[in-house]
Amino acid sequence: MESILQMPIRIIKEQELVIGPLAWDEAKKVAGLTIDQPHNSVSFSNSFSGDKKDAINRLVAQYERLFGRASQEVCRESVQDLIAEMSPEEIPSSLR
Amino acid sequence: MSNNNKPVSPAEYKKITEELYKQNLELARLYKQVDSLNTELQESIKQRESLVHLVTHKVKGSFTRSKYIFAGILDGTFGETSPEIKKRAEQGLESDNMGIETVDLVLSVANMQKGVVKYDMKEIDLREIVLKTIAEKRGPAEFKGLKIETDIKEDTYNVLGDAFWLKEAINNLIENSTKYTREGKIIIGLEKKPARNASHSDARPHDSQQRVGQAGGDGKVVFSVKDTGIGIGEEDKKNLFTEGGRGKDSVKVNVDSTGYGLYSVKLIVDAHKGKVFEESEGVEKGSTFFIELPLV
């Protein structure tokens, strides 16, 4: 599977370990992501015209707005193995 | 209005939220560490169990093979043998039997710890098991010069239990008393303790009033083995029912002590929702072991 497709669920699951179900509630507010919490799945919305990287940046920002820099670090740690396999231009700016 | 009632500003709120997030993050990281250590521990336990099984099966196999060689010498399979060789073969056979018993004990404990021992719980009269075990153990005790006395009234002592494993536990306590008593006697008792508020003035076979009285609750059946043996020091009492917990002086009297006997008794009694405990006034003052089980 394309690395970027795995990023949203990784980030949400990692945030869930820290803040619990609130991680899902916050992710639902992010434009460009379709959240299916009962099935533990997240996908990029087809109807959304924006870039996948933008959707991930918004997800990271959503957590950072509420919980500060520490939450951004958590997002980064959760996908570090995926980032290692991606070219620099593929990586969302918030995770660089 | 006091400072405590001042509304929290958005900036303060954010600061508090961020601080809480950091604390949660710390907890989440600790949780991950504990989880990882737990996984490692489970893995080590599995490896240890598999090693115990491998070693014990190999050892048991070796004992069993040499047992049949000794048995063959004794029953004439290998032709006529001198009395001296027969005597040595008898010693070898006895030693192998003890070895097999020890391996079986270690294996049983490992299986009980893993929870793979399935107890066939039925309503049984503990008196029958106790009397049967006494009949088997009287010979070896009297051979050693010990007197076996009983204090068991005609009655039914019904408990819910697995007859095989309860017999193992009772057998172990009587055998222990025989091993750790150089001279004197062993008194085996069985009594019913009807109910929490029943009078404690009834005659009891041993000095168990205080401990048995503490148990309280519904009716109990109390099995006891009192001896005039080496007794138990305060330090040894702490490790008595633990895995590998041998008494400081026990190996001087019983060189074959494995430290698994009383531990296995505890595992069996625990599985029967009972209690096992001891009383001893100290070294060389004898001891009494009790098994207390719920009366049906």
pLDDT tens digits along B183-239:
999 999 999 987 765 444 443 443 333 444 344 457 999 999 999 999 998 888 888
Q: Chain A within 8 Å of B30 (Cβ-Cβ)?
A: no
Average pLDDT for A3-31: 95
Q: Are A53 and A4 a contacting pair, CB within 8 Å?
A: yes
Give domain limits for chain B: 1-117, 122-294
ipTM: 0.87
Alpha-carbon distance B21 to nearest alpha carbon in chain A (angstroms): 6
Query: Do the Cβ atoms of A19 and B24 come within 8 Å?
Result: yes
% of chain B beyond a pLDDT of 70: 87
- CA pair distance A79, A77, nearest whole angstrom: 5
Give the bridge partners for B292, in sequence order. Answer: B222, B275
Q: Which CATH number fits domain B122-294: 3.40.640.10, 3.40.50.300, 3.40.50.150, 3.30.565.10?
A: 3.30.565.10
Q: Are B261 and B105 a contacting pair, CB within 8 Å?
A: yes
User: What is the model's pTM?
Assistant: 0.61
pLDDT tens digits along A49-73:
668 999 999 999 999 999 999 999 9
pLDDT tens digits along B135-163:
999 999 999 999 999 999 999 999 999 99
pLDDT tens digits along B34-78:
999 999 999 998 888 888 888 888 898 999 999 999 999 999 999
* pLDDT confidence of residue B113: 84
Q: Are B169 and B188 a contacting pair, CB within 8 Å?
A: no
Q: How many CB pairs under 8 A join A and B?
A: 26
Average pLDDT for B231-256: 76
* pLDDT confidence of residue B254: 63
- β-strand pairing of B147-152 with B185-193: parallel
* pLDDT confidence of residue B198: 47
Query: Do the Cβ atoms of A19 and B17 come within 8 Å?
Result: no
Give the bridge partners for B149, in sequence order. Answer: B187
Give domain limits for chain A: 3-90
* pLDDT confidence of residue B46: 86
Alpha-carbon distance A48 to nearest alpha carbon in chain B (angstroms): 30
B145: left (phi over 0), alpha (psi -120 to 50) or beta: left
